[in-house]
Amino acid sequence: MNYTCIDIGGTSIKYAMMTENGQILTKGQIPTRIAEDGSGDIPRKIASIVSKLQKQCGRAEGVAVCSPGLIDAEKGEVIYAGSNFPGYTDMKLREEIEALTHLPCTVENDVNAAGLGESWLGAGKGAKSAFCIFVGTGIGGALVLNGHLIHGASAAAGEIGYLPFAGGQFEKLASTSALLQQTGAATGEEVFQRAAKGEEKALAALEEMTQKIACALAEICCIVNPEVLIMGGAVMAQQEFFEPRLNRYLKELLPPALLTNTHIAFAQLGTAAGFTGALRHFLQKHK
């Protein structure tokens, strides 16, 4: 059986037709065009994708969606969305998609979905407990226990970016945005290029970023004690830089007993993580 899987982003809507085992039959993306078309046009765009993929690959058994914002995964509704998605808050996304496609639909938060995808078929495959942290413009997280997401009382479990730190919130101090602001670089890649040339400012900023991330990971270890800490986001592609440093700082911060059965892994699914996790979420709801 095949499923249409959707990852809604501010710039593009990524999509794939996938089998229930997570095999990608075909994939692509279209511009989200929120400024031009508004958030209200997202369900129609998704319905158009569903129609296109069914013509290419045959019938889909459902539509698995992940989306930015605070999502009520039980109802498939957007509880809250930021200024980048005007008019998106309170959208009954699942209901609208089901009405347009005549197919069952599920909706999950994009970071949660990416974490679930990595836990299912990526860096956390086989682990009974995983905490996934994604470092980008902001910092997001997802907690997966026994293959299922933990949502929390307000659908906000894993929102590690809001973790209080001395000096402000975690994501304001350790995100890629903070790194660029601190170094004056245009991209994370530029920071690493400068560091490779020995620039002290870039090296110091990266070291500080790593220390703060390690502190957050240490707190997660104390509370959850997961088998695997999965590091994702574009900047974490620099595994050779981050892995030894994160391990060293964690050993300094925590007693050995807390780390005996915990290891750091780096995300493996790339841009497919979101719609892969959306599929996993759909299958868990409908199987």
53-111 pLDDT per residue, tens: 999 999 999 999 999 999 999 999 999 998 889 999 999 999 999 999 999 999 999 99
**Domain match, 240 and 139 both:** yes
Q: Give the domain extent around 44.
A: 2-113+271-286
Asked whether residue 203 is domain-assigned, the answer is yes
**Domain match, 278 and 216 both:** no
Asked whether residue 27 is domain-assigned, the answer is yes
Q: What is the CATH number of the domain that holds 15?
A: 3.30.420.40
At residue 105, what is the residue type?
C
139-192 tens-digit pLDDT: 999 999 999 999 999 889 999 999 999 889 999 999 999 999 999 999 999 999
**Domain match, 101 and 86 both:** yes
**Using H for helix, E for strand and C for coil, what is the string for the chain?**
CEEEEEEECCCEEEEEEEECCCCEEEEEEEECCHHHHCHHHHHHHHHHHHHHHHHHHCCCCCEEEEECCEEECCCCEEEECCCCCCCCCCCCHHHHHHHHHCCCEEEEEHHHHHHHHHHHHCCCCCCCEEEEEEECCCEEEEEEECCEECCCCCCCCCCHHHCEECCEEHHHHHCHHHHHHHHCCCCHHHHHHHHHCCCHHHHHHHHHHHHHHHHHHHHHHHHCCCCEEEEECHHHHCHHHHHHHHHHHHHHHCCHHHHCCCEEEECCCHHHHHHHHHHHHHHHHHC
**Domain match, 258 and 279 both:** no
Given a cut of 80, whether residue 273 has pLDDT beyond it is yes
**Domain match, 95 and 144 both:** no
**Domain match, 258 and 190 both:** yes
11-20 tens-digit pLDDT: 999 999 999 9
Asked whether residue 119 is domain-assigned, the answer is no
Give burial (CB, 10 Å; 0-12/13-18/19+) of 197.
exposed
CA 276/CA 271 separation, integer angstroms: 9
What's the pTM? 0.95
Q: What is the pLDDT of residue 82?
A: 86
Q: What is the pLDDT of residue 262?
A: 97
Asked whether residue 118 is domain-assigned, the answer is no
**Domain match, 229 and 277 both:** no
**Domain match, 147 and 97 both:** no
Q: pLDDT averaged over the chain? A: 96
**Domain match, 166 and 70 both:** no
**Domain match, 102 and 187 both:** no
Given a cut of 80, whether residue 287 has pLDDT beyond it is no
Domain total in the chain: 2
Asked if 7 and 66 count as a contact pair (C-beta separation under 8 A), the reply is yes
Asked if 101 and 42 count as a contact pair (C-beta separation under 8 A), the reply is no
**Domain match, 231 and 168 both:** yes
**Domain match, 137 and 192 both:** yes
